[in-house]
Amino acid sequence: MNTIRGRLTFWYTVALTATVLVFGTALYLERRQSSVRELDQRLALEADFARRWINESYNVLSTLVRPNDPRELQQGVAANFEGVRDLLLVFDRQGRTLYINDPVRQLNFAAIERLAALPGPAPVVGVTGTAVLPGNEPPMRYAQLPVDGAGTEVGAVVVAARLSAVAFGPADLLQSMVLVVPLILVASGVLGWFLAGRAMRPVERLMDEVQEVTDGRSLHRRVLVPTSGDELARLAVTLNEMFARLEQSFSQLRRFTADASHELKTPLTVLRAGVERSLIHPGTPPEVLEALDTNLEQLNKLNELMDSLLTLARADEGRAPLALEEADLRALVVDVGETAEMLAEQHDLRMRVAVPEHPVQVLVDSHRMHQLLLNLVTNAVKYTPAGGWVEVLLEEEGEKVRLVVRDSGIGIASVDLPHIFDRFWRADPARSRTGDRPGVGLGLAITKWIAEAHGGTISVQSRPGRGSSFVVTLPRAGAGGPAAGA
Ligand SMILES: Nc1ncnc2c1ncn2[C@@H]1O[C@H](COP(=O)(O)OP(=O)(O)OP(=O)(O)O)[C@@H](O)[C@H]1O
Ligand SMILES: [Mg+2]
């Protein structure tokens, strides 16, 4: 249940089921109540009918009871009661039964006794109630009415009916509810899932749009503001405002880096020219010469760093356009290969350069491509101990061209692999023995940018101690097309 949609569905189902249960229970109780009321009315009507009949009969016959023992209602009067479908009992003034109808006779003796004891002697007011009978008889609802228009012979009538008879309707209701609740549960689950999905759709769309803003370069994107004017619209507006602020901060940061490295370049050049001049000055003492030499080395490093920073800052700003032209990549590879061979010789490494026999025409910025290849080759040489080998290969693969730089060097730990293209990132010197190797950690960041600006990709495979293999894949001229000016 880790999605909002799932949670909404769950709570919707719970809420609906609870509502149905509460509603059903209320309905059931109400039905039961009103069924009992209806029964009471029926019993009261029947009791009233019996009383009136007794009164009428008394007026006509002036005696209703046969004088035998036990005393009984006269046959003629009693015959009229046989049609009453509920239980009917007639009592004399002392509370003794004068008559019981057929349904009463079918009860067991103890139950009849209990019913017969209901009114007691000389009742004066009507009573309605529930009588609990002995044995396994269900409870009875009864209405008792005093009879006062039949002289001294008749005292009361009682009409009764089983409560279970009226409970039948509500019990039915209960049964169908038990059957219907699981169905409601399933139906509400499906409906809830569908409704929650609909409600969440704009959120998902918003999420997708926000997800597309992956890095500093896609901050110009904005999410679509829904026209609904609801909370989501507000969220979209807020997000857009946040993107705008972020974009502004990012561009200020980039502008600052670009400006700073640009501004630093001029004094650096002046400084370098001064040092160079002093180096060749005939009067400079030898101990100063040594210091000047170190200074020049550091100045050159600083200059390289400024160049790299400026390149990356301009690339971020989109102000580093590629000068694209058709070029035979073989020439480029061979050219870098020559430099590499010199480097390899210095470091006691074997070097192999392999290119296809026919021209490999690709639309590239030759200067940048040169830089890319040189970065990879200098890394390979730098991170391969003496006695190892380095390979530079140019391969074709359908619509793609691959530049491969492989070495037998120290390799890269798998935990480091995701970081090697990050700016200023260098492997932990303690782990990978890069400590004695100079560098700032910008080479691969620039390499990656150059590959991607050409519409290509760069990937690396490496195992510590087993060497590394960098592969740059570029689309051929016209295929896919490099993102010029990116
Ligand atoms: N061929 C390789 N073999 C082993 N490790 C490598 C190789 N190429 C790169 N690395 C690791 O990746 C890190 C980053 O490389 P990157 O070229 O960006 O920086 P650098 O060579 O240290 O400095 P520079 O900015 O001068 O190139 C290196 O410091 C090194 O740890
Ligand atoms: Mg490098």
Query: For 164-180, what is the mean pLDDT?
Result: 73
Query: Domain end: 294, 317, 340, which one?
Result: 317
Question: Is 92 in the same domain as 238?
Answer: no
Domain CATH for 113: 3.30.450.20
Instruction: Give the number of other Cβ atoms within 10 Å of residue 28's Cβ.
Output: 16
Query: Domain end: 168, 187, 206, which one?
Result: 168
Q: In this predicted structure, what is the pLDDT of residue 482?
A: 47
Question: Is 93 in the same domain as 158?
Answer: yes
Q: Given the CA of residue 432, which atom of ligand 1 is nearest to it?
A: 31
Q: In this predicted structure, what is the pLDDT of residue 379?
A: 94
Torsion region of 120: left, alpha or beta (phi above 0 gives left; psi -120 to 50 gives alpha): left
478 pLDDT higher than 80: no
Instruction: Give the number of other Cβ atoms within 10 Å of residue 175's Cβ.
Output: 10
Question: Residue 58: inside a domain, yes or no?
Answer: yes
Using the mean position of ligand 2's atoms as its centre, give its distance from the Cα of residue 421 in Å.
10
Q: How far from chain centre, in Å, is Cα 184?
A: 25
Q: In this predicted structure, what is the pLDDT of residue 389?
A: 96
Q: Given the CA of residue 437, which atom of ligand 1 is nearest to it?
A: 22
Domain CATH for 253: 1.10.287.130
pLDDT in tens, 382-410: 999 999 999 999 999 988 999 999 999 99
pLDDT band at 435 (very low <50, low <70, confident <90, very high): low
Mean predicted lDDT score pLDDT of the chain? 87
Among 16-25, 42-51, 324-333, which is the least confidently predicted range? 16-25
- Provide the residue range defining the domain that includes 62: 4-168
Question: Is 63 in the same domain as 86?
Answer: yes
Question: Is 359 in the same domain as 313?
Answer: no
Which one is predicted more confidently, 137 or 167?
137
- Find the farthest-apart pair of alpha carbons in the chain and give their distance in angstroms, rounded: 165
Question: Is 260 in the same domain as 380?
Answer: no
Contact criterion met (CB below 8 Å) for 240 and 223: yes
Using the mean position of ligand 1's atoms as its centre, give its distance from the Cα of residue 269 in Å.
27
By most ligand atoms within 8 Å of CB, the mutation choice from 426, 436, 468 for ligand 1 is 426
Q: Is the CB of 461 under 6 A from ligand 1?
A: no
Question: Residue 211: inside a domain, yes or no?
Answer: no
Q: Whose CA is nearest to atom 28 of ligand 1?
A: 426
Question: Is 300 in the same domain as 350?
Answer: no
Q: How far from chain centre, in Å, is Cα 390?
A: 50
Question: Is 45 in the same domain as 128?
Answer: yes
pLDDT band at 254 (very low <50, low <70, confident <90, very high): confident
Q: Is the CB of 434 under 6 A from ligand 1?
A: yes
pLDDT in tens, 190-242: 998 999 999 888 889 999 999 988 777 788 889 999 888 888 899 999 999 99
The angle formed by the CA atoms of residues 195, 6 and 192, to the nearest 5 degrees, is 25
Question: Is 32 in the same domain as 132?
Answer: yes
Question: Residue 481: inside a domain, yes or no?
Answer: no
Q: Is the CB of 467 under 6 A from ligand 1?
A: no
CA distance readout (Å), 456 to 51, 224, 307, 450, 485: 107, 30, 23, 8, 14
pLDDT in tens, 267-315: 999 999 999 999 998 888 888 899 999 999 999 989 989 989 888 888 8
483 pLDDT higher than 50: no
Q: Is the CB of 468 under 6 A from ligand 1?
A: yes
Question: Residue 218: inside a domain, yes or no?
Answer: no
Q: In this predicted structure, what is the pLDDT of residue 253?
A: 87
Predicted TM-score (pTM) of this structure:
0.62
Q: Is the CB of 446 under 6 A from ligand 1?
A: no
pLDDT band at 167 (very low <50, low <70, confident <90, very high): low
pLDDT band at 431 (very low <50, low <70, confident <90, very high): low
Q: Is the CB of 369 under 6 A from ligand 1?
A: no
Which one is predicted more confidently, 67 or 250?
250
DSSP conformation letters of 451-480: HHHTT-EEEEEEETTTEEEEEEEEEPTTSS
Q: In this predicted structure, what is the pLDDT of residue 33?
A: 84
Q: Is the CB of 339 under 6 A from ligand 1?
A: no
Q: In this predicted structure, what is the pLDDT of residue 321?
A: 85
Question: Is 124 in the same domain as 271?
Answer: no
Question: Is 277 in the same domain as 354?
Answer: no
Q: Whose CA is nearest to atom 29 of ligand 1?
A: 426
Question: Is 331 in the same domain as 307?
Answer: no
Query: Domain end: 292, 317, 342, which one?
Result: 317
Which tokens in the block code for residue 332? 């480029």
Question: Residue 225: inside a domain, yes or no?
Answer: no
Question: Is 380 in the same domain as 242?
Answer: no
Among 90-99, 170-179, 396-405, which is the least confidently predicted range? 170-179
428 pLDDT higher than 80: no
pLDDT band at 430 (very low <50, low <70, confident <90, very high): low
**Domain tally for the chain?**
3
Q: Is the CB of 484 under 6 A from ligand 1?
A: no
pLDDT in tens, 34-86: 888 999 999 999 999 999 999 998 888 888 888 777 788 888 888 888 888 89
Point out which residues pair with 468 in neighbouring strands: 407, 462
Question: Residue 299: inside a domain, yes or no?
Answer: yes
Q: Is the CB of 441 under 6 A from ligand 1?
A: yes
Q: Given the CA of residue 421, which atom of ligand 1 is nearest to it?
A: 18
- Of all residues in the chain, the percent with pLDDT exceeding 70 is 95
Using the mean position of ligand 1's atoms as its centre, give its distance from the Cα of residue 443 in Å.
7
**In sequence order, which residues have a C-beta less than 8 Å from that of residue 204 and are 6 or more positions away?**
none
Q: Whose CA is nearest to atom 19 of ligand 1?
A: 441
Domain CATH for 384: 3.30.565.10
Q: In this predicted structure, what is the pLDDT of residue 170?
A: 64
Q: Which of 55-69, 170-184, 318-332 has the highest mean pLDDT?
A: 318-332
Using the mean position of ligand 1's atoms as its centre, give its distance from the Cα of residue 204 in Å.
40
Return the closest-CA partner of residue 416 out of 473, 464, 466, 470.
Answer: 464
Closest-approaching ligand to the CA atom of 405: 1
93 pLDDT higher than 80: yes
Question: Residue 177: inside a domain, yes or no?
Answer: no
Question: Residue 187: inside a domain, yes or no?
Answer: no
Name residues with Cβ closer than 5 Å to ligand 2, which is an ion. 379, 443
Return the closest-CA partner of residue 458 out of 469, 398, 413.
Answer: 469
